[in-house]
């Protein structure tokens, strides 16, 4: 089975640029209109979110068949395997989003990626559907401009993630259970507040009145990552955002994120990404 999975092709976002209705390097917009059949299993190296209006068919994600229905969101993260058989009269919208751009608003999804991977189809209320449709169309309208504004696209993508999360919370008992764990919710809030100055698990554990070991157990049990990984992820996302924006020198980025010097920051960044901050900046 593992050998079969390894042979499944991985498609990049650039392979879809010829059929895009509107787009830029970070994000593509397409419409789903009528019959669409993909019978060969494949993966993507980018994130896809689909908003179905009137729809029918079957979407197979990681070997599980999901019936496609009206007023649904389907999410597909990099590396997930899928095929689909979309029937006639189906109407919907699709956003294809690069991993780097996804990182900029991923926190607005609120729950761990594993939750969405295990529950990739989200039923929507009428109100939530109309809100999401508005945001999808607004992204399309912005992308039609030759000099589309990345910050506008980021803001609208964040709204989409927040609405989807709200609907996921109402739909999936598993999400409600995780959200009810106050310690984890507060841990995430504390990271957002202190990540620049505090990078040790013990600091956050003390704030939460629990041991560092117990905080780590909570994270691994419920979020499938360590407490330190959550802290590092926040720092890394901000580092990438600042490096990509070119508003600071690398030395200033290091200082802004609370590193003692540029050398410590470079070691951290290269350990997390495999490349130096300067190489990341030059490639983006």
206 and 158 co-located in one domain: no
pLDDT by residue (tens digit) across 101-159?
A: 998 898 888 877 877 887 899 999 999 999 999 999 999 999 999 899 999 999 999 99
83 and 205 co-located in one domain: no
Of the residues 150, 176, 202, the one at which a domain ends: 176
164 and 197 co-located in one domain: no
pLDDT by residue (tens digit) across 11-46?
A: 999 888 887 788 899 999 999 999 988 888 899 999
79 and 191 co-located in one domain: no
Supply the pTM of this predicted model: 0.62
Range of the domain at 135: 2-176
Domain of 212, CATH number, reads 1.10.10.60
Range 61-85 average pLDDT: 92
How many separate domains does the chain show?
A: 2
190 and 220 co-located in one domain: yes
53 and 165 co-located in one domain: yes
192 and 85 co-located in one domain: no
Among 196, 15, 41, smallest CA distance to 23 is for: 15
DSSP H stretches of helix in the chain: 2-7, 99-105, 113-118, 126-143, 150-171, 173-179, 182-194, 201-207, 212-223, 227-245, 250-256, 262-273, 277-283
270 and 163 co-located in one domain: no
Range 148-177 average pLDDT: 84
């Amino acid at each position: 089975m593992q050998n079969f999975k390894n042979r499944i092709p991985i498609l990049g976002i650039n392979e879809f640029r010829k059929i895009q209705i509107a787009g830029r390097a970070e994000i593509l917009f397409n419409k789903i209109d009528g019959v669409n059949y993909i019978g060969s299993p494949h993966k993507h190296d980018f994130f896809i979110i689909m908003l179905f209006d009137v729809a029918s068919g079957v979407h197979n994600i990681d070997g599980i068949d999901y019936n496609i229905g009206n007023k649904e969101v389907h999410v597909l993260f990099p590396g997930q395997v899928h095929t689909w058989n979309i029937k006639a009269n189906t109407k919907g919208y699709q956003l294809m989003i690069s991993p780097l751009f996804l990182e900029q608003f991923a926190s607005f999804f609120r729950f761990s990626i594993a939750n969405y991977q295990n529950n990739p189809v989200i039923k929507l209320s009428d109100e939530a559907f109309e809100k999401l449709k508005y945001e999808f169309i607004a992204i399309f309208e912005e992308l039609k401009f030759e000099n589309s504004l990345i910050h506008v696209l980021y803001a609208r993508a964040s709204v989409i993630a927040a609405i989807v999360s709200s609907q996921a919370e109402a739909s999936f008992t598993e999400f409600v259970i995780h959200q009810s764990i106050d310690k984890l919710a507060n841990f995430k809030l504390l990271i957002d507040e202190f990540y620049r100055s505090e990078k040790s698990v013990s600091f956050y554990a003390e704030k939460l009145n629990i041991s560092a070991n117990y905080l780590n157990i909570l994270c691994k049990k419920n979020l499938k990552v360590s407490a330190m990984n959550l802290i590092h992820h926040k720092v890394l996302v901000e580092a990438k955002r600042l490096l990509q924006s070119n508003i600071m020198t690398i030395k200033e980025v290091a200082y802004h994120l609370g590193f003692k010097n540029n050398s410590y920051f470079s070691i951290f960044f290269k350990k997390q990404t495999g490349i130096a901050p300067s190489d990341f900046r030059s490639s983006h």
